[in-house]
């Protein structure tokens, strides 16, 4: 066992990796132990949105930006859309202690908010060293502990990390969706009106929920769509009874190769139906699998809000938010399926389109706002497909 660091004051928190590496620090959030896959996120803002993104289910988020907490937390900026997705990321790791809030929208100290969301966190650890471990060896299994009394069983923590099953072959989307369908017409946030509802809509969209983020639904409303959200494994025939103008395959966590086994029949029938389709993140990967391509695990994944992606249709480079540990293998794309977007960081796939069909998908998160609105056009592009079919 190697010890990564020693805090100046008695340790109340720790993170242990499956290889026996341990970093001691100061705990915060929910007392106890959380296990998951350790990934680093390079965003400098949006920590509340990140930790409530259901795509992070089963993961511990290491923030590379050292100062976290200064904008506090509020009840509006969380991204989960169902009670079942209320706890997305299982843990968090910070360099500096959590800062006191200083923002006019803040309602909670970030530490108190972490406890409410049942997220276990540790600070005062060497996040640069941990990031280097991930860069050189991939995303490890880990266990994070917060023991207010300072009683940390390091050996038990290492064993907890080793015993965790991991994300490969895990259909985690099953755990972050509810059973009951619901509608959404809430638009994007406005400084004056906040989150207002559409009074009139032009389209009806069915969203297949694998862990959908709220801002996806808000962006759909912003282009004139009322969204009905249903489980990702809802039978095709039930979806058609809702008479949608288009269907969205949402983001979500876990291994797409596992989730496609449960949801593939519905997606295949949607492809054949001719309905406009938009896939996002996990939905993009599921669409690729249904079309005949393959996906593979990434060593480090993409997690951050500063990723450059090129749109081949326009030649534009956009700055996007990403959160994925699996990627579509472009070498396996079948005839008729084209790469529409590509990451300029490492050349991995970030979008697909189907020749002759109103079907598009992206690996990144077009509903997020790092650019700040570089990718919102994708929802307009999808709305254009639906408008064409109404003509």
Strands 22-29 and 13-17, sheet pairing: antiparallel
For residue 285, say whether it is annotated as part of any ligand binding site: yes
Is 165 one of the annotated active-site residues of the chain? no
For residue 286, say whether it is annotated as part of any ligand binding site: no
Residues 6+ apart with CB under 8 A from 277: 246, 247, 248, 249, 270, 271, 287, 358, 359, 360, 361
E runs forming strands in 124-270: 141-146, 182-184, 186-190, 194-197, 203-209, 225-231, 246-249
For residue 91, say whether it is annotated as part of any ligand binding site: no
For residue 282, say whether it is annotated as part of any ligand binding site: yes
Is 318 one of the annotated active-site residues of the chain? no
Instruction: Report how far apart, in Å, the C-alpha atoms of 349 and of each of 196, 287, 290, 331 are.
Output: 35, 13, 16, 10
Instruction: Report how far apart, in Å, the C-alpha atoms of 118 and of each of 29, 32, 48, 63, 68 are.
Output: 7, 9, 13, 18, 18
- Token duo for residue 164: 């965790």
Annotated catalytic residue, options 26, 39, 281, 303: 281
For residue 251, say whether it is annotated as part of any ligand binding site: no
Closest among 110, 92, 93 to 101, alpha carbons compared: 110
Residues 378 and 365: their CA atoms lie apart, in Å, by 10
Residues 248 and 157: their CA atoms lie apart, in Å, by 40
Is 313 one of the annotated active-site residues of the chain? no
For residue 323, say whether it is annotated as part of any ligand binding site: yes
Annotated catalytic residue, options 302, 303, 341, 365: 365
**3-class secondary structure, 55:** helix
For residue 220, say whether it is annotated as part of any ligand binding site: no
For residue 384, say whether it is annotated as part of any ligand binding site: no
Q: Which residues are annotated as a binding site?
A: 55, 252, 254, 282, 285, 323, 325-326
Active site residues: 281, 365, 367
Q: Which residues are annotated as a binding site for L-glutamine?
A: 55, 252, 254, 282, 285, 323, 325-326
């Amino acid at each position: 066992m190697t010890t990564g660091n020693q805090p100046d004051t008695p340790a109340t928190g720790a993170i242990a990796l499956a290889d026996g590496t341990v970093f001691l620090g100061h705990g915060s959030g929910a007392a106890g132990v959380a296990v998951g896959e350790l990934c680093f996120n390079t965003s400098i803002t949006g920590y509340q949105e990140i930790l409530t993104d259901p795509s992070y289910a089963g993961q511990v988020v290491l923030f590379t930006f050292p100062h976290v907490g200064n904008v506090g937390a509020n009840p509006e900026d969380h991204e989960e859309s169902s009670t079942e997705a209320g706890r997305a990321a299982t843990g968090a790791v910070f360099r500096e202690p959590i800062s006191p809030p200083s923002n006019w929208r803040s309602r909670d100290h970030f530490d108190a908010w972490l406890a409410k969301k049942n997220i276990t966190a540790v600070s005062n650890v060497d996040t640069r060293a941990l990031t280097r471990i991930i860069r050189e060896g991939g995303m490890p299994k880990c266990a994070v502990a917060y023991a207010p009394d300072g009683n940390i069983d390091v050996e038990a923590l290492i064993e907890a990390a080793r015993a965790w099953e991991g994300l490969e072959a895990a259909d985690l989307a099953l755990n972050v969706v509810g059973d009951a369908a619901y509608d959404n017409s809430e638009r994007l946030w406005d400084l004056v009106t906040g989150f207002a509802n559409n009074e009139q809509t032009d389209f009806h969209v069915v969203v297949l929920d694998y862990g959908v983020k709220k801002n996806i639904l808000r962006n759909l409303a912003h282009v004139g769509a009322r969204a009905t959200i249903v489980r990702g494994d809802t039978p095709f025939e039930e979806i058609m009874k809702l008479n949608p103008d288009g269907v969205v395959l949402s983001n979500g966590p876990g291994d797409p190769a596992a989730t496609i086994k449960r949801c593939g029949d519905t997606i295949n029938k949607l492809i054949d139906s001719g309905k406009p389709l938009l896939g996002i993140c996990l939905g993009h990967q599921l669409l690729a699998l249904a079309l005949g391509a393959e996906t593979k695990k990434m060593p480090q994944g993409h997690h951050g809000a500063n990723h450059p992606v090129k749109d081949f249709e326009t030649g534009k480079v956009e700055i996007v938010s990403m959160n994925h540990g699996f990627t579509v293998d472009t070498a396996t794309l079948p005839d008729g399926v084209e790469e529409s977007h590509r990451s300029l960081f490492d050349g991995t796939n970030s979008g697909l389109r189907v020749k002759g069909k109103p079907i598009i998908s992206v690996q990144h998160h077009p509903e997020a706002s790092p650019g700040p609105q570089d990718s919102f056009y994708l929802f307009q592009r999808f709305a254009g497909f639906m408008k064409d079919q109404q003509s």
